[in-house]
Amino acid sequence: MTTKTTTKTTTPVGVKGYLDSQLASSKDKKFHVTLNGKDVALTPLKFHEEKKLGGSKSSTAVDMKGADGKIYEIDFVSAGGQVTGASVGKVNGKSPSSQ
């Protein structure tokens, strides 16, 4: 699925590129994370502004909708434009440990 936006956003090429490749290689075209031992299939909704962490590292949060109807905020950490890690930041606006 390709969508074009006309608004000026600072969508990070590294995270967007990483997600695009993950979605393309997934059988159901979704991004999968494991939360509390369960596989969750996610569809990206909104990219937040990239935050610099120092050096060549940065963090980008992406809101994604789960197959369960919840909104997950996934935090991607990048170094030099390459995604080096991802974690679940929030579920429906709350810490995942409180779910």
Per residue in 63-72, pLDDT (tens digit) is 999 999 999 9
In a domain, 8, yes or no: no
In a domain, 64, yes or no: yes
Domain containing 51 equals 13-93
The predicted structure's pLDDT at residue 14: 87
CA separation for the pair 33, 91 (Å, rounded)? 12
Q: Where are the alpha helices (DSSP H) in the chain?
A: 13-25
In a domain, 98, yes or no: no
Per residue in 27-83, pLDDT (tens digit) is 999 999 998 899 999 999 999 999 999 999 999 999 999 999 999 999 999 998 889
Number of folded domains that form the chain: 1
Chain position carrying tokens 């509390």: 36
In a domain, 1, yes or no: no
Q: How far is CA 80 from CA 3, 11, 16, 22, 36, in A?
A: 26, 15, 14, 19, 30
In a domain, 72, yes or no: yes
Q: Is the per-residue pLDDT at 99 higher than 70?
A: no
